[in-house]
Amino acid sequence: MTKKIIIKVICLLVALVFMTSSVFAASNVTLKIDGNQVNDSVKVIDGKQYISVDSLAKNLENITVNKGSNSIEINTETNKVSKVISKVSPSVVGIIGKLKESSYDYDESTDNLIFGTGVIYKSNGYIITNAHVVKDMDSIVVVLSNSKAYKARLKAIDESLDLAVIKIDKGGLQPATFGDISSVAVGQDVVAIGTPLSFNLRNSATKGIVSGMNRSADGEYRFIQSDAAINGGNSGGPLVNMKGQVIGINSVKLVGYGVEGLNFSIPVDTVKYAISHFEKFGRIKRPYLGIVFADSITSQYGLPSKSAGLTVKDIYEGSPAEEYDIVLDDKLVSINRTKVNSIIDYNEEMKKYLPGDKATFTILRDKKQFNIDIIFGEKQK
């Protein structure tokens, strides 16, 4: 190769290097979305700054990105809510029936029709709803989103959890997808779907946010608080996130003069717990000791307190608790090192155990702490 040709080749390589560096220039640009730094690097191409579609999908909560083999679809928040409702609605049913004559609310001067909402969780006709929707209901009828009606029968019920399972003889249904309670956070957008006020308003949807977690709401277990509007008839319907996953079953609304947007849903982990027990045992199989506990005043009002624990107020005669060194006015501080400061804490912790399981109770008596190993019994009907 001649010297002239060598010089031309070197010049061509240098030009190519400069061209490449101008097209894919290194960048130290920092990108923040809503104050949070995006880890993916910003690329500069022909003087313009670019970031990947994948990074957008990960870092922008109000859009979703669907990538096909030949297309990319970006949906805004408005479109996202519409898609969530369309996805979940086929899994939401209306429930209607006549009030039992034995019910306290039975009134001979009315038609005594009552209704609520349910969520299909198995394609062969299993539906979860509130216990208070169906406990006094005769001739239960389920109406699907396509307006077809089917007779239903009660399979299992637990009034403490306010959950029940009913069954229709229909296959090929679209079951809802349950979410993960660990991914639920205050401020997240949610949609409630149900049958508010009139059976003609089946599958009505309202939108709000998660307002709070671990609320008591006069129940025995924890609730999710939201401001997604619910009314009479919404009970038993789903509270769903923006992925179209059920994160709760709507159960309670606080009403009163000047009260707005205080709605409560049974969290999805409690729903899964109930369904698991209903399927295995036909009921909720709770551990039992026969102890009556009392919250402290500070716990009842949700105030911080140094005096932790539950006070033993009574021990039932013949109960398993009589076998152990537990006396009146003892304080239960923790169960297997998990602190319990309220009766709701205790009830939630009991979801981990079955009759016959063992646990260690930490007891406070006369300012001294000690441990007692106990074995849970089962309450006889």
Same domain? For 262 and 183 the reply is: yes
Q: Is residue 208 part of a domain?
A: yes
Boundary-marking domain end, from 168, 192, 210? 168
Q: Give the CATH number of the domain where residue 224 resides.
A: 2.40.10.10
pLDDT digits (tens, 9 = 90+) for 48-76: 878 777 776 666 655 666 666 677 776 66
Q: Per the residue annotation, which of 136, 162, 295, 330 is the catalytic one?
A: 162
Q: Is residue 39 part of a domain?
A: yes
Same domain? For 124 and 192 the reply is: no
Range of the domain at 142: 87-168
Boundary-marking domain end, from 281, 307, 342? 281
d(CA 67, CA 242): 18
Q: Is residue 55 part of a domain?
A: yes
DSSP collapsed to 3 states, 303-348: CCCCCCCEEEEEECCCCHHHHCCCCCCCEEEEECCEECCCHHHHHH
Percent of the chain with pLDDT over 70: 80
Instruction: Look at the chain and report how many structural domains it folds into.
Output: 4
Bridge partners, residue 75, by sequence: 64
Taking all residues of the chain, what is their mean pLDDT, rounded to a whole number? 84
Q: What is the DSSP secondary structure assignment for residue 41, as one 8-state letter?
A: P
Q: Is residue 97 part of a domain?
A: yes
Same domain? For 68 and 110 the reply is: no
Between the ranges 31-45, 240-254, 292-306, 350-364, where is the mean pLDDT highest? 350-364
Q: Can 162 be counted among the known catalytic residues?
A: yes
CB 365 within 8 A of CB 326: no
Boundary-marking domain end, from 281, 315, 345? 281
Same domain? For 121 and 156 the reply is: yes
pLDDT at residue 231 is higher than 50: yes
pLDDT digits (tens, 9 = 90+) for 249-299: 999 876 555 566 788 999 999 999 999 999 999 999 999 999 999 987 777
Q: What angle do CA 221, 224, 225 make, to 5 degrees?
A: 120
Same domain? For 183 and 277 the reply is: yes
d(CA 139, CA 135): 11
pLDDT at residue 103, rounded to an integer? 79
Q: Is residue 380 part of a domain?
A: no
Q: Is residue 117 part of a domain?
A: yes
Q: Is residue 80 part of a domain?
A: no
Same domain? For 187 and 273 the reply is: yes
pLDDT digits (tens, 9 = 90+) for 196-227: 877 888 888 999 999 999 888 777 899 999 99
Q: Can 235 be counted among the known catalytic residues?
A: yes
pLDDT digits (tens, 9 = 90+) for 169-191: 999 999 999 999 999 999 999 99
pLDDT at residue 374 is higher than 80: yes
pLDDT at residue 75, rounded to an integer? 63
The separation between CA 17 and the C-alpha centre of its own chain, rounded to angstroms, equals 56
pTM of the prediction? Answer: 0.79
Q: Per the residue annotation, which of 204, 226, 235, 342 is the catalytic one?
A: 235
Same domain? For 141 and 66 the reply is: no
Same domain? For 270 and 303 the reply is: no
Q: Is the dihedral of CA 99, 101, 104, 108 positive or negative?
A: positive
Tell me the DSSP string of 223-273: EEEE-S---TT-TT-EEE-TTSEEEEEEEEE--STT--S-EEEEEHHHHHH
pLDDT digits (tens, 9 = 90+) for 322-366: 999 999 999 999 999 999 988 999 999 999 999 999 999 999 999
